[in-house]
A = this chain, B = another copy of it.
């Protein structure tokens, strides 16, 4: 599988990759255990600090790793990984090491203990910023403290979940800059 060559990416720009709504892979680690989960329910909440809110349900094996470490990495996969993204979401880290099972390369992160997935287009290192809605909704608010992204292609072919086993693959680009007020870009 392709390993994307990445550079540091401004954390204030993570919206460029998350706002379109891709399915992501969340990697986590705690006390020698590590895991990956597939996650589709997330939203940007602020540019600076770069806040991302997301649902990590208690039924996921990753929940305890994230809750206890208060960290994770949000990895953005592209269509080449689509089958693995589904299969990662359809097995439990309680029984398998998903890095080994899916032949994914774990890289050491700069700011968090959770590993980066080398085969993903981008990796966002996250620290817990607010857990106020965690117990009621399984909703975590993370701050992206360090970001890495591939330089090419400029617009990755991310995958977006429609439910019922169907995904939408990121399509053509549309430049509507001319209709924006500059401060609204």
Contacts and interface: CB of A to CB of B under 8 A. Distances in A.
Contact of A16 (B130, B157, B163, B173): B163
Number of copies of chain A assembled together: 2
A7 B55 CA distance: 29
Contacts of A54: 43
Contacts of A43: 41-43, 53-55
Interface in A166-181: 166-181
A141 to B, nearest CB: 8
Interface of A: 13, 15-16, 19-22, 40-46, 51, 53-55, 79, 82-83, 86-87, 89-90, 130, 132-133, 136-137, 139, 141, 155, 157, 159-181, 184-185
Contacts of A19: 21, 40-41, 160-163
A50 to B, nearest CB: 12
